[in-house]
Structure 1
Amino acid sequence: MQLVVGRIGRAHGIKGEVTVEVRTDEPELRLAPGAVLATDPAAVGPLTIETGRVHSGRLLLRFEGVRDRNAAEALRNTLLIADVDPQELPGEPDEYYDHQLMDLDVVLADGTEIGRITEISHMPSQDLFIVERPDGSEVMIPFVGDIVSEIDLVKQRAVITPPPGLIDDSEAEIASSRDEN
């Protein structure tokens, strides 16, 4: 399985380094020297990481064969893609790869169907599940412990306890009336 782990930004300096927008929780594993990454557009790669360092809070990488600013700038906006074993799990028990969460059924604690996860949006403050409802509408569910109470990969479902108004007013009223009983 292929996962996007970064996006190349602007050139840094004159020796071929580039800034990288990290899109993985495991940059030390996915973006380490020696890693060979596929690219989008594919014609640019594959790229082999020669060196990496953090400078002023930004990841800087240099790729084999990229020796000057012009060559580095030509890589701008290229996506970096790592091959990952689909059975591989993140290091922490409450962490998940996007591909594990995609297409999970989203249900309330009582089993009421809300919809299916069609996208995961990575925002600066938190991740969001984009959930397609049975009627075709979409709802955004913050992926935080107070709302997503359980991820069950075996049953292929995410159990949520939404606050009033998150799903829609009628379901929020039903959920709050259940809490009162």
Structure 2
Amino acid sequence: MNTLDVTVATIGRAHGLRGEIALILRTDQPEERLGRGARFEVSTGAGPRSLTVRSTRRQQERWYVSFDEVSDRTDAESLRGVELVLAVDAEDEAAEDPDAWYPSQLTGLTVRHVDGRELGTVQGVEHYPAQDLLVVRATDRRRVQLPLVEQLVPEVDLEAGIVLANPPGGLFDALPEDEQGPEPETSAPPERPRG
């Protein structure tokens, strides 16, 4: 079976005293992927850990989860920022939505401007509450973060290995020599008088 890693959610802050946790969703199928008994193998600062969904609930468009293994606020807070990732069957996912793509599939794709110029290579995707950012290693070796919104990334063609981008002016352009800021000082600072 050909599997695909799908980020379901990022763990947010603790909610209450009994280990309930707010989630930042990364899936459009939370009911299916976060069902009772769903199991996630995660990496934390303390090492690998298993988390099994005990229950989920929604309140004012926010999702909250309780795990069998998390029983208090301190433990819940220690998980903040951890991504919940599931391995799913790639063929089933493709059959469900042939135009869908996942962040793990973007790494290594060539980023081209809508005018045909090569801009760089996708290094990954960073998730933020407002929007996701496509991390691109530009052709001049700089690290560029491109908001992953349809206006700026109108097309992802997995078969061709291309991400089509329409970035705002200057985002991928190197700064001219005279606009790169002052040169760092290389001389030693003056000695202070001793008193």
Q: Give TM-score, length-normalised by structure 1.
A: 0.72
Alpha-carbon distance change, 65 to 134 in structure 1, aligned in 2, over 3 angstroms: closer
* 1:145 aligns to 2:154 (yes or no): no
**1:82 and 2:83 correspond:** no
Contact 1:11 1:73 in 2 (8 A): no
Corresponding residue SS for 1:84: strand
The offset of 1:116, in angstroms, is 0.4
Q: Which has the larger displacement, 85-94 or 161-170?
A: 85-94
- Which has the larger displacement, 142-151 or 41-50? 41-50
**Please, which of 30, 34, 39 is the counterpart of residue 33 of structure 2?**
30
Partner of 1:74, secondary structure, is helix
- Do the aligned partners of residues 106 and 82 (structure 1) sit closer, same or farther apart at CA in structure 2, a change above 3 Å counting? same
Q: Which has the larger radius of gyration?
A: 2
What do residues 41-63 of structure 1 show as CA deviations (whole Å, max 9, x unaligned)? Answer: 38663222121112355433222
CA displacement 1:14-41 (0-9 Å, x = unmatched): xx44113324223222222121111223
Number of residues of Structure 1 aligned to a counterpart in Structure 2? 165
Match of 1:54 among 49, 52, 58: 58
Match of 1:175 in 2: none
- Out of 129-138 and 4-13, give the one that drifted further: 4-13
Structure 1 Cα separation of the partners of residues 132 and 170 of structure 2: 19
Q: What is the CA RMSD across the aligned residues, in angstroms? A: 3.0
Q: Tell me what 2:131 maps to.
A: 126
| Structure 1 runs not aligned, ≥5 long | 171-181
Counterparts in 2 of 1:134 and 1:61: CA distance versus 1, 3 Å: same
Distance 2:95 2:65 in 1: 23
Kept in 2, the 8 Å contact 1:7–1:77? The answer is no
Distance 1:150 1:105 in 2: 12
Alignment partner, residue 113 of structure 1: 118
Cα distance in 2 for partners of 1:65, 1:159 equals 43
Q: Structure 2 residue aligned with 1:166, among 171, 174, 184?
A: 171
* Local SS of the residue matching 1:158: strand
Shift of the 92–12 alpha-carbon distance from structure 1 to 2, 3 Å rule, reads farther
